Amino acid sequence: MQGWVVVVASFSYLGVLFAIAYYGDKRADQGRSIIANPYIYSLSLAVYCTSWTFYGSVGRAASSGIGFLPIYLGPTLMAALWWILLLKIIRISKANRITSIADFIASRYGKSQSLGGLVTVIAVVGIIPYISLQLKAVSNSFVILLQYPQIVMPATIGEVPILHDSAFYIAMLLAAFTILFGTRHLDATERHEGMVAAIAFESLVKLVAFVSVGAFVTFGMYHGFADIFDRAAGAPKLDALLTLGGAAGTYGTWFSLTFVSMLSIMMLPRQFQISVVENVNENHITKATWLFPLYLLAINVFVLPIAFGGLMHFPDGSVDADTFVLTLPMAERQPALALLVFVGGLSAATGMVIVETIALSTMVCNDLVMPLLLRSKSLQLTRQPDLSGLLLGIRRWAIALILLLGYFYFRIAGEAYALVSIGLISFAAVAQFGPAIIGGMFWKDGNRSGAFAGLSAGFFLWAYTLLLPSFARSGWLPMSFIEQGLFGIALLKPLQLFGLSGLDQISHCLFWSMLANIGCYVWGSLTSRTTVTETSQASAFVDVFKRSVEGGSRLWRGSASVDELFALLSRFLGPTKAARAFDDYARTRGARFFRDLPADANLVHFAETLLAGAIGSASARVMVSSTVKEEPLGIDEVMNILDEASQVIAYSHKLEQKSRELEAATAELRAANERLKEVDRMKDDFISTVTHELRTPLTSIRAFSEILLEDPEGEAAQRQKFLGIIVKEAERLTRLINQVLDLAKLESGRAEWHAAELSLREVIEDSVAATSGLFEDKRVRVETRMPPDVPLITADRDRLMQVIINLMSNAVKFCRAGDGLVKIRLVTGPEELRVEVQDNGPGIAREHHETIFDKFRQVGDTMTDKPQGTGLGLPICRQIIGHFGGRMWVNSEPGKGATFSFTLPRRPADSASAA
């Protein structure tokens, strides 16, 4: 095979890739994206399959049968969890403008620059072996293909000087290609639509190439699957490969590989970049969940046949199993197929290198270099007008450097291991991100110190148990390091740490590094303090599904100006892009231009998020806080800002209100209680008075009755007298009881009223007639003076007569017998009629004018004067008159008689005549 054929084929393939990427970017700029498609998304995820898959799987299968497969089963299982995990990561990343794994971890743990830097270092160191394996695969396949039709294995790596080493040139070429590919301009979202399109294409190419050679071997060279396996079963050394080794160690290895690949499918920088950062639409996850595992299945179906075919075809072990995919078609004189295979392998390698180095260079720029540069006072970076050129330059140098390092690792350590073993070193490295990321997504108490401790411990143990031994195996570190341990201490043997033997290297490394990682993460988080930013970020990440889109209080205090923020953004994004972003934001807030916006916490947050897309969230935080005059918040102050505090305040307001209401109710209750007690007292008085009044006549009746009983032969006259007294007292008692009942009925409103229209004149005349007997008995004169025309009123006739008769009988009672005179006058007023009953008795002292209307109150000294009435008459009269809507009162002076008056309204009160 002519060298130039291979070179031309390679360059044309790379050219096609470049063209696709260019087209994809152009369409993205126009807004007509070609990658907004779940099939493209799923295919692009297949960047997981690199030269490792293409060449290395066969090599692994040749030595351990199906032991190559767990690397693909792990991602299949993980895909089932994407619905929960990947969706959450994507949602968090979109919300926080996260553009890389280092950014994710740094942002989650309080926008910590140091953590971002650590993650970047781990990622770069960890991925370098992986890159070197791609270089090894491409350069080896290139060299082998050049020898067609002879099959000659490449020379040992160290023997070829660098400048004659094709791998070196391939590394440089890949660096140049990647720089051209991915660093043409700076995008605030770190999206590279063209790259995604190209990756999807190359996934197809490698699948087609592999399936072609697989089909060729299986059906061309042999007669199908059954044929190959039959023959393998026949060959002595091969049938051992048909099953897994019986020792538990093999199952342990199997599980470790599954576990580590489950983590890698998410934590590899290129996987994070493609599945999270480049994700266009969350719904694409649905198809990817099963399409991606299907791709893995398809590309692995022919691995075993090729491996067995190669083992049977090259039985003496002269051909490296990692090259079977290429050497088999070469051995069968299929140059076109061999060239296709080479291009397929190139495709797999370039895909990985492009995405991985772009992702790594982003991390190096944003999370490692920029923070250091920003800190350095001498550079005065915060005053530079335009930093986008600087950013791009940093990234380009990072890409070149990473590829160079990959080449050097290849020279140093590439010889000792098969491809898969090299790759597993990287898998174990990125697995260290697992606890920090998964813990960060679900455990709010995971904090920066814990993450830092965990990552450091895990990384250290990984380096000690996996990375350094790989140098020792290649001779760059003394073998005594492996055999006797560090400083000769047996417990520190890197492959049997603390005496743990019986595990293969990967399981051993995973066990110790995960133990240290998770242990330090949990212990560190639980025993150290958490800052304000960490807590709010933890909440933002873990609760990302519960949060509303915008709003809520921002944990920020300071003063800013819109112009300063805009100037800051335009330094990194360029003035046009910054202006567009700001104006879009302004429109969502209801202002037309961003200069009209208030420089509040929301604007600062927006600016910071936008900037984070360009330089990472940790650096963005630094830049923004240096621009605005920020005041650090203490925990106490934050509690005032947070909602919880306002809830507490609202609650205490409610409590205050409740207690006030309670006081008012208590006061009312107390007043009611007082009134009740008063009424109770009055009731007690009433009862005691009534019983007293009732007892008095009863006593007389009993006394006189007893006398009569004891002395039946007494004097008739005296007996008459006594009987008379008894009768009178009984009458008095009856009267009293009647009046009490009457008054009770009147006061409780249960009396019956029969209202009718009547003439007051008539009523008075009738009353006079009714009491004429009384007057004649006592020889008291009655005079009436009434106008002839008296308007009719509506009242209860009987009750009215009761009142007038009562007044008159009172008057008679207090007149002197003989010259007593009772005058009755009726006066017609405009609003009311007034009746006056005047007598010329002894009169009533002024202080008694009101009290005589009290119950049981009689004028006169109760001790000396015999009670003449019940004391209830006047109260009853007043009740009755009051019921009709009138008033009753008395005018009197001692010695000059008394005048009892009452009024009756001419129009009866509405409330009175209820009957």
Partner 1 sequence: MNRSSIKGQRLGALFIIGLLMFNYPLLFLFNSALELLGIPLLYAYIFGAWATLIGVMALVIEKGR
Which parts of this chain interact with partner 1 (CB under 8 A)?
66, 69-70, 73, 76-81, 83-84, 87, 224-227, 229-230, 233, 239, 242-244, 246, 248, 251, 254-255, 258, 286, 289-290, 293-294, 297, 301, 304, 545
Query: What phi, psi does 631 have (nearest 5°)?
Result: -110, 130
Cβ 511 vs Cβ 517: under 8 Å: no
Query: Which residue number, 291 or 852, has a Cβ lying nearer to partner 1?
Result: 291
Of the candidates 838, 842, 885, the one whose C-alpha atom is nearest the C-alpha of residue 860 is: 842
Estimate the crossing angle of helix 225-234 against helix 303-313, to 10 degrees.
50
> Both tokens of residue 534?
């960490």
Two structure tokens written together for 153:
């294995």
For partner 1, give the closer residue by CB, 99 or 256.
256
* Complex with partner 1: residue 235 or 645, whichever CB lies closer: 235
What is the DSSP pairing of strand 821-828 with strand 792-796? unpaired
Minimum distance of partner 1 from residue 634's CB (angstroms): 35
Nearer residue to partner 1 within complex by CB, 78 or 573 = 78
Asked if residue 343 lies in contact with residue 183, where contact means CB atoms within 8 angstroms, the answer is no
String of b and e for 252-267 (b: at least 16 CB within 10 Å)?
bbbebbbbbbbbbbbb
What distances in angstroms separate CA 446 from CA 88, 441, 449, 636, 816, one per listed residue? Answer: 17, 9, 9, 21, 109
Q: Which is nearer to partner 1, 146 or 304 (CB)?
A: 304
- Report how far residue 658's alpha carbon sits from residue 648's, in angstroms, rounded to the nearest whole number: 15
CB of 540 to partner 1, least distance (A): 17
Complex with partner 1: residue 239 or 747, whichever CB lies closer:
239
Q: Give the Cα separation of 602 and 600 in Å (integer).
A: 5
Instruction: Output 257 or 760, the one with its CB closest to partner 1.
Output: 257
Kindly state the smallest distance separating residue 382's Cβ from partner 1, in Å: 42
C-beta of 239 vs 550, nearer to partner 1? 239
User: Cα(741)–Cα(720) distance, rounded to whole angstroms?
Assistant: 31
Report in angstroms how near the CB of residue 300 gets to partner 1 at its nearest.
Answer: 8
Residues in the chain: 915
Residue among 529 and 546 whose Cβ is closer to partner 1: 546
DSSP 345-388: HHHHHHHHHHHHHHHHHHHIIIIIIHHHHHH-GGG-GGG-S--H
The nearer residue to partner 1, 69 or 746, going by C-beta atoms, is 69
Residue with smaller CB distance to partner 1, 84 or 155: 84
User: Least Å distance between CB 224 and partner 1?
Assistant: 8
- Kindly tell me the burial class for residue 866, based on how many C-beta atoms sit within 10 Å of its own C-beta (0-12, 13-18, 19 or more): exposed
Partners of 835 in beta bridges:
826, 902
- Proportion of the chain in helix, strand, coil states, percent, rounded to 5: 70, 5, 25
- The distance of closest approach from Cβ of residue 550 to partner 1 in the complex, given in angstroms and rounded to an integer, is 21
Residue recorded with tokens 């006056």 = 836
Report in angstroms how near the CB of residue 242 gets to partner 1 at its nearest.
Answer: 4
Is the distance from CB of 891 to CB of 883 less than 8 angstroms? no
Q: Which is nearer to partner 1, 252 or 882 (CB)?
A: 252
Cα-to-chain-centroid distance, residue 488: 55
**DSSP secondary structure letter of residue 50:** -
CB 370 within 8 A of CB 394: yes
